[in-house]
């Protein structure tokens, strides 16, 4: 039997990289009896960072699911990566949970990813609780962090617990709902024992209890009235109002502890059960015209939020059942592919174990293996209903590399493997550059692309090398010119003869190419005119300056001659190529480069440094405005100056800056730089022919 929907809690652990989400996840699994020992990130022994690259980098790269029971409730816990390069997984997890626990480092306080994810959680309208972690570290301060949280996220952030002791002397917590103190009881670091509230902290506890009651009573007018008149409010009423307020963001409870020594985690599990909403409590999900309710007697709708490609197990899809029940050995419909899928085994995750279950009921989260068509973003349903989850706003990939297989003949394998990784991570961009012919892979950062390369090697056995992609320069002309092309061959048998006169002139930027037939009196028969145009276009594929494509030119064919026997299409095409090359050389050819619009988000204190750096990259700032705790800067910068920008911005802003790039237009390259590009192109051609 599956758990009833009102006994399920779906919780995502989110926050900035290094706040201790994975350690907390590990402690919660240990506390709940899923694992028999407390794994450690530094030793590489945690349940959720099971991939070799996660252990090597000591950070989470993928979201992982674990399910367990606590106080007769089923908790589905998703540990998400905090590194911004893997934000797609964090956002995917937030979308399918009713609640998020934001893990905050008590030394660092609110960091940039915390704020960004908070804004996303607000858009998705999910319940949020905060866990202030690492209270045993030097310079850790719960009360300073609490003030920071209030400043960042508003006055509804309120402590439901405060710590006893500080830094390495932390020994327990005071629960402000029950007004009871707890200390860690045993050497095995499990569970909490009740103790009297230490006298030294009695006043502090009373002060924070009152702040909590002010917030809780605001949820209900009736409670507020009784509270102001000094009436006693029962424990059940406080818990009820706290849950009510937390459900849709009227209260954000703050709890605390130390994940690595399992301090405060049993209290957090209690708080998840008591304060965070079930799928039923949280309410129906509206998708287009449909309203999906966590009810068993309605038809099935389940959303696939994550795909994991595995060369042995094939594809594993993580999904959330929104309505109805998903049963093993049943048939369902994939609404995107309009195809039937046979559901074989249903899998849950509990530490290193992956028990099979017979069904997932409404509100539950689990996994299914070996579906043929299904991948992240798809719906599985009882009928073919056109249904689409609103698209997640994902950051644009800006760190691009050209990928080449180390072994010749591996091109197809590389591409197929990259495609499978892209199913898993929609922030990977994969395309072939039409102009340079290179296979381009782009990610959100250097780390992101390195991880992609590691995974190609480890999972698919493919080795690749990365090179910065080439800038897709173009060429154009600045003035008109005329030229004459003549192709003549006579060597026994039928000869070849083609002869044409053309005039070329610049078009305004973006108009491309125009071919005008001005031939009079049939000096070139009309059947050969397309051949001249073909030759002209071929000559424009590689310009006379540096071999880049030529754009924005009008070509007039105005004269020529032909031979009744020896003229042919190929002869006129050759004449067209000759004439065009000659005309381009005389028409003041220039090199054009792509200009990008860069949108940056950086902390205010780095704005001056960032703009100074953009100026040194020939950037033109277009303005800035404050957005939340960050400043948004827009600038126009040549693409050539941005190929290795990501690591530079990281070092200027201490890892807190972010940016996106989009193409704007082509502009002429300044003379001295143009010369460099031309020289480089001729060196490359010489090397290729050597």
CATH code (residue 277): 3.40.50.300
Q: Kindly state whether residues 208 and 88 are assigned to the same domain.
A: yes
Check which CATH number belongs to the domain holding 487 and give it: 3.30.230.10
Evaluate whether residue 689 is within a structural domain. no
Domain boundary among 381, 412, 433: 381
**pLDDT confidence of residue 187:** 55
Evaluate whether residue 568 is within a structural domain. yes
Q: Kindly state whether residues 222 and 311 are assigned to the same domain.
A: no
CB of 472 closer than 8 Å to CB of 433:
yes
Q: Kindly state whether residues 123 and 270 are assigned to the same domain.
A: yes
Evaluate whether residue 553 is within a structural domain. yes
Q: Provide the 8-state DSSP code for 370.
A: -
Evaluate whether residue 103 is within a structural domain. yes
Identify the CA nearest to 348 among candidates 340, 338, 339, 357: 357
Other CB atoms within 10 A of residue 512 CB: 10
**pLDDT confidence of residue 68:** 93
**pLDDT confidence of residue 617:** 96
Q: Kindly state whether residues 235 and 296 are assigned to the same domain.
A: no
Q: Kindly state whether residues 112 and 235 are assigned to the same domain.
A: yes
Q: Which two tokens stand for residue 55?
A: 């252990």
Other CB atoms within 10 A of residue 280 CB: 18
Q: Which two tokens stand for residue 172?
A: 């327990």
**pLDDT confidence of residue 475:** 93
Instruction: Break the chain down into helix, strand, coil percent, rounded to 5.
Output: 35, 30, 35
* Residues comprising the chain, all counted: 690
Residues linked to residue 192 through DSSP beta bridges, in sequence order: 184
Domain boundary among 527, 557, 587: 587
Evaluate whether residue 169 is within a structural domain. yes
Q: Kindly state whether residues 440 and 574 are assigned to the same domain.
A: no
Identify the CA nearest to 247 among candidates 118, 364, 129, 389: 129
Q: Kindly state whether residues 527 and 422 are assigned to the same domain.
A: no
In the numeric block, the tokens 């299904």 are attached to 374
| Distance from C-alpha of 427 to C-alpha of 442, rounded to nearest angstrom | 8
**pLDDT confidence of residue 82:** 81
pTM reported for the whole predicted model: 0.75
Given a cut of 70, the residues of the chain with pLDDT beneath it are 48-53, 55-57, 185-191, 310-313, 398, 435-436, 492, 628-629
- Residues in Cβ contact with 196 at an 8 Å cutoff, skipping those fewer than 6 apart: 181
Residues linked to residue 567 through DSSP beta bridges, in sequence order: 497
Q: Kindly state whether residues 55 and 149 are assigned to the same domain.
A: yes
Q: Kindly state whether residues 327 and 242 are assigned to the same domain.
A: no
| Distance from C-alpha of 586 to C-alpha of 602, rounded to nearest angstrom | 47
Q: Provide the 8-state DSSP code for 53.
A: H
Check which CATH number belongs to the domain holding 440 and give it: 3.30.70.870
Q: Kindly state whether residues 149 and 293 are assigned to the same domain.
A: no
Angle between helices 202-218 and 235-247 (to 10 degrees): 60
Q: Please provide the distance, in angstroms rounded to a whole number, between the alpha carbons at the two ends of the chain.
A: 73
Biggest alpha carbon–alpha carbon distance for the chain: 116
| Distance from C-alpha of 543 to C-alpha of 314, rounded to nearest angstrom | 47
Check which CATH number belongs to the domain holding 617 and give it: 3.30.70.240
| Distance from C-alpha of 492 to C-alpha of 479, rounded to nearest angstrom | 42
Q: Where do the DSSP E strands lie in 249-385?
A: 252-256, 285-287, 290-292, 301-310, 314-323, 326-327, 330-334, 339-343, 346-347, 356-357, 359-360, 365-369, 379-381
- State which residues form the domain around 353: 286-381
Domain boundary among 381, 416, 443: 381
Q: Kindly state whether residues 161 and 268 are assigned to the same domain.
A: yes
Identify the CA nearest to 175 among candidates 225, 217, 238: 238
Evaluate whether residue 386 is within a structural domain. no
**Number of structural domains in the chain:** 5
CA angle 290–293–296, rounded 5-degree value: 125
**pLDDT confidence of residue 320:** 96
Q: Which two tokens stand for residue 506?
A: 């610049």
Evaluate whether residue 403 is within a structural domain. yes
Evaluate whether residue 394 is within a structural domain. no
Check which CATH number belongs to the domain holding 332 and give it: 2.40.30.10
* Core vs surface per residue 164-194: b (16+ CB within 10 A) or e: bbbeeebbbbbbbbeeebbbbeeeebbebee
In the numeric block, the tokens 């102009």 are attached to 435
Q: What is the pLDDT of residues 130-151, one digit of tens each?
A: 999 999 998 899 999 999 999 9
Q: Kindly state whether residues 333 and 348 are assigned to the same domain.
A: yes
Side by side, which strands form the sheet with 157-159?
Answer: 64-70, 73-79, 8-14, 99-105, 127-133, 252-256, 157-159
| Distance from C-alpha of 476 to C-alpha of 587, rounded to nearest angstrom | 9
CB of 292 closer than 8 Å to CB of 282:
no
Q: What is the pLDDT of residues 512-523, one digit of tens each?
A: 899 999 999 999
Other CB atoms within 10 A of residue 511 CB: 12
């Amino acid at each position: 039997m599956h758990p009833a929907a009102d006994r399920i809690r779906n919780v995502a652990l989110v926050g900035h990289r290094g706040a201790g989400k994975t350690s907390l996840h590990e402690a919660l699994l240990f506390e709940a009896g899923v694992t028999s020992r407390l794994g450690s990130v530094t030793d590489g022994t945690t349940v959720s960072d099971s991939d070799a690259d996660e252990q090597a980098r000591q950070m989470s790269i993928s979201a992982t699911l674990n399910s367990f029971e606590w106080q007769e409730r089923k908790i589905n816990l998703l540990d998400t990566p905090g590194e911004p390069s893997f934000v797609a997984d964090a956002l995917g997890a937030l979308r399918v949970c009713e609640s998020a626990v934001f893990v905050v480092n008590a030394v660092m306080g609110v960091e940039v990813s915390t704020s960004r994810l908070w804004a996303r959680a607000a858009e998705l309208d999910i319940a949020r609780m905060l866990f202030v972690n690492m209270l045993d570290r030097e310079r850790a301060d719960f009360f300073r962090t609490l003030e920071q949280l209030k400043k960042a996220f508003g006055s509804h952030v309120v402590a439901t617990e405060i710590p006893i002791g500080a830094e390495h002397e932390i020994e327990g917590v005071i629960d402000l709902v029950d007004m009871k103190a707890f200390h860690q009881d045993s050497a095995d670091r499990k569970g909490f024992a009740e103790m009297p509230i230490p006298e030294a902290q009695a006043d502090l506890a009373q002060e924070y209890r009152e702040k909590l009651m002010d917030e809780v009573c605001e949820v209900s007018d009736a409670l507020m009235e009784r509270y102001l008149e000094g009436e006693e409010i029962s424990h059940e009423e406080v818990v009820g109002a706290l849950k009510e307020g937390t459900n849709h963001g009227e209260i954000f409870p703050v709890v605390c502890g130390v994940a690595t020594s399992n301090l405060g985690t049993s209290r957090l599990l209690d708080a998840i059960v008591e304060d965070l909403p079930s799928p039923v409590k949280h309410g129906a999900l509206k998708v287009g015209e449909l309203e999906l309710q966590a009810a068993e007697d309605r038809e099935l709708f389940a959303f696939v939020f994550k795909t994991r490609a595995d060369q042995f197990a094939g594809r594993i899809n993580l999904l959330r059942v929104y309505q109805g029940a998903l049963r093993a050995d049943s048939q369902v419909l994939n609404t995107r592919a309009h195809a039937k899928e046979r559901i074989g085994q249903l899998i849950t995750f509990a530490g290193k174990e992956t028990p099979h279950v017979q069904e997932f009921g409404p509100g539950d989260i689990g996994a299914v293996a070996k579906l043929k068509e299904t991948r992240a973003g798809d719906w599985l349903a009882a009928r073919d209903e056109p249904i689409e989850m609103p698209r997640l706003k994902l950051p644009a990939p800006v760190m691009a590399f050209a990928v080449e297989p180390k072994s010749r003949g591996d091109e197809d394998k590389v591409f197929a493997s990259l495609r499978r990784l892209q199913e898993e991570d929609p922030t990977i961009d994969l395309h072939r550059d039409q102009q340079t012919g290179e296979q381009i892979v782009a990610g959100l950062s250097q780390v992101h692309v390195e991880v992609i390369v590691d995974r190609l090697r480890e999972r698919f056995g493919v080795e690749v090398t990365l090179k910065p992609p080439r800038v897709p320069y173009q060429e154009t002309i600045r003035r008109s010119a005329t030229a004459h092309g003549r192709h003549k061959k006579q060597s026994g048998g039928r000869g070849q003869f083609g002869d044409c006169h053309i005039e070329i002139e610049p078009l305004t930027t973006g108009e491309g190419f125009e071919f005008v037939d001005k031939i009079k009196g049939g000096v070139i028969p009309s059947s050969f005119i397309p051949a001249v145009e073909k030759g002209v276009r071929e000559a424009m594929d590689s310009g006379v300056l540096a071999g880049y494509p030529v754009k924005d030119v009008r070509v007039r064919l105005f004269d020529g001659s032909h031979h009744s026997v020896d003229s042919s299409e190929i002869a006129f095409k050759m004449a067209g190529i000759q004439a065009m090359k000659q005309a381009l050389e005389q028409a003041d050819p220039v090199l054009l480069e792509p200009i990008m619009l860069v949108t940056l988000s950086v902390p205010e204190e780095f704005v001056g440094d960032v703009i100074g750096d953009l100026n040194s990259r020939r950037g033109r700032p277009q303005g800035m405005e404050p957005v939340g705790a960050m400043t948004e800067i827009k600038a126009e910068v040549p693409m050539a100056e941005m190929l290795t920008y990501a690591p530079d911005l990281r070092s200027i802003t201490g890892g807190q800056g972010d940016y996106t790039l989009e193409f704007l237009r082509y502009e002429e390259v300044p003379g001295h730089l143009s010369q460099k590009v031309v020289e480089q192109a001729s060196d490359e051609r010489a090397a290729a022919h050597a």
